């Protein structure tokens, strides 16, 4: 049978609500006052964007929410989305010195959200473009987080900045690919508007290579920034993969983020293939949208999964099940999915995962979600710039200090 929506709008709003609700004023003040405001704060060192965490928390404690948000957004223009989607448990909060005292770490992510929500909700301006223009023009390809952060910094340095995005909405994975219960699309789109307010021009619905050539961009701009991210998701390459109820995890998550929640179709028994954080997002949202059973099939063990421990715990708390040391060998059914055939796995002498003969088992499922990682955009990149140097994995070779590639003016 075809899959169908399984929850009404009211239920969907409840089950897909953000995990950590916004702090109240009193809650934020109490949490901020727990901070020791370390001079050589390890939380700053653990933040990929170097936000001065003690400084913004101290401002929250003093009641200066605008000042706190300014401290955050000057370091990271995407501080609002990072407050929700960043794995703070293993970064800034994981480095909190209170853990050495067997105390709970400061809830840095929730405090960061509290401060940034204040300026977005009240339309308060805390960032501005440079008053003096440099006369330089920079084009950025792709409007995901990398390009948004880069574009904001360039605008604040006085450069004229234009972002090309093939989709109709900017924001990349923040708009289309983050689990709904972590962050709603509106948060990402508000950040896009913040970047736009700095004078950055967005040309959405325009695809480089189709609507405009790379040669044209290099002629018209002083520098090119490639922020395209990754390509399509990997496939299993097994029989039955063409059936309509076999979807990739990012497409499933995108539908959740672009359609009314009560119109998103989901199976009654859902199998998710893979065990990274995207797989966790998929299984958790399938359960929250009404699947009676949802389980992850992973060819290795729990110690090998790339998902964070707190994500793993979340999926189990939502009723997700895990089937380790199993690998799909066929998807059953026609014209609709009716089952998944899996076989047990083991490691060979060289540490590779291999199937154990004679261990196949058929599982009753009506939806299969593939979360197998994404491919590099090697073919696209070389079509744009045949001289561009890529490594063995298909990633762009660049100077890690400047971002410069081997092609002059391309970063």
Q: What percent of the chain has pLDDT over 70?
A: 100
pLDDT for the residue numbered 20: 85
The pLDDT of residue 394? 92
- Identify which of 150, 277, 145 has the alpha carbon closest to the alpha carbon of residue 224: 150
pLDDT tens-digit readout, 151-164? 999 999 999 999 99
Picking from 135, 191, 192, the residue whose alpha carbon sits closest to that of residue 165 is 192
pLDDT, tens digit, 9 for 90 and up, residues 305-329: 999 999 999 999 999 999 999 999 9
pLDDT per residue over 30-50, tens digit each?
A: 999 999 999 999 999 999 999
- Give the chain's largest Cα–Cα span: 72
The pLDDT value given to residue 1: 84
pLDDT for res 232: 85
Under 8 Å between Cβ of 315 and 280: yes
Q: What average pLDDT does range 65-73 have in this prediction?
A: 98
Does pLDDT of 287 surpass 90?
A: yes
With a threshold of 0.85, does the pTM exceed it?
yes
Contacts of 321 (CB under 8 A, 6+ apart): 293, 294, 295, 296
91 Cβ contact list (under 8 Å, min separation 6)? 46, 47, 48
Confidence category of residue 83, pLDDT binned at 50, 70, 90 = very high
- Which token pair is 155? 């605008």
CA–CA separation, 196 vs 193, rounded Å?
5
Q: Are 225 and 139 in contact (CB under 8 A)?
A: yes
Q: Are the C-beta atoms of 268 and 294 separated by less than 8 Å?
A: no
Bridge-based pairing state of the strands 201-204 and 160-165: parallel
384/390 Cα distance (integer angstroms): 13
| DSSP sequence for 345-362 | EEE-TTS-EEE-TT--EE
Q: Tens digits of per-residue pLDDT, 290-304?
A: 999 999 999 999 999
pLDDT band at 85 (very low <50, low <70, confident <90, very high): very high
Q: Per-residue pLDDT tens for 339-394? A: 999 999 999 999 999 999 999 999 999 999 999 999 999 999 999 999 999 999 99
| Strands 353-355 and 337-347, bridge-based pairing | antiparallel
- CA 142/CA 124 separation, integer angstroms: 27
Q: Which two tokens stand for residue 249?
A: 């995890």
| Over residues 172-184, mean pLDDT | 96
Q: Angle, nearest 10°, between helix axes 309-317 and 277-288?
A: 20
First to last CA, the chain: 49
Please state, rounded to an integer, the average pLDDT across all residues of the chain.
97
pLDDT value at 218 more than 90: yes
Is the pLDDT at 12 greater than 90? The verdict is: yes
pLDDT of 265 > 90? The answer is: yes
DSSP letters, 197-241, are HTT-EEEET--BTTTB-HHHHHHH-SEEEE-----SBP----TTT
CA 15/CA 223 separation, integer angstroms: 45
Q: Does pLDDT of 207 surpass 90?
A: yes
């Amino acid at each position: 049978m075809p899959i169908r929506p399984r929850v009404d709008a009211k239920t969907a709003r409840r089950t897909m609500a953000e995990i950590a609700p916004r702090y109240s004023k009193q809650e934020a003040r109490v949490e901020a006052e727990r901070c020791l405001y370390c001079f050589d704060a390890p939380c700053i060192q653990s933040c990929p964007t170097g936000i001065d965490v003690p400084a913004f928390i101290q401002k929250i404690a003093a009641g200066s929410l605008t000042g706190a948000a300014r401290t955050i957004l000057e370091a990271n223009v995407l501080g609002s989305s990072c407050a929700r989607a960043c794995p703070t448990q293993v970064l800034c909060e994981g480095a909190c010195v209170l853990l050495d005292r067997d105390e709970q770490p400061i809830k840095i992510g929730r405090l960061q959200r509290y401060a940034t929500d204040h300026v977005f909700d009240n339309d308060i301006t805390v960032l501005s473009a440079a008053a003096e223009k440099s006369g330089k023009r920079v084009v950025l390809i792709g409007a995901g987080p990398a390009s948004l952060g880069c574009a904001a910094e360039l605008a604040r340095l006085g450069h004229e900045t234009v972002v090309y995005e093939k989709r109709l909405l900017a924001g990349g994975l923040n708009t289309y690919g983050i689990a709904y219960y972590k962050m709603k699309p509106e948060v990402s789109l508000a950040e896009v508007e913040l970047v736009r307010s700095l004078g950055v021009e967005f040309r959405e619905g325009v695809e480089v290579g189709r609507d405009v050539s790379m040669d044209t961009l290099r002629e018209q701009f002083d520098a090119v920034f490639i922020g395209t991210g990754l390509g399509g998701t990997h496939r299993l390459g097994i029989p039955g993969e063409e059936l309509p109820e076999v979807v990739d995890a990012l497409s499933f998550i995108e539908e959740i983020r672009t359609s009314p929640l009560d119109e998103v179709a989901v199976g009654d028994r859902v199998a998710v293939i893979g065990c990274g954080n995207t797989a966790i997002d998929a299984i958790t949202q399938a359960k929250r949208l009404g699947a009676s059973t949802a389980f992850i099939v992973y060819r290795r063990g729990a110690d090998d999964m790339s998902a964070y421990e707190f994500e793993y715990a979340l999926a189990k708390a939502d009723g997700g099940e895990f089937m380790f040391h199993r690998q799909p060998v066929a998807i059953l059914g026609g014209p609709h999915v009716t089952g998944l055939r899996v076989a047990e796995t083991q490691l060979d002498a060289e540490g590779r995962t291999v199937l154990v003969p004679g261990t196949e088992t058929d599982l009753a499922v009506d939806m299969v979600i593939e979360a197998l990682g994404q491919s590099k955009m090697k073919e696209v990149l070389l079509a744009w710039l045949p001289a561009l140097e890529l490594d063995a994995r298909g990633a762009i070779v660049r100077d890690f200090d400047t971002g410069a590639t081997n092609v002059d003016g391309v970063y």
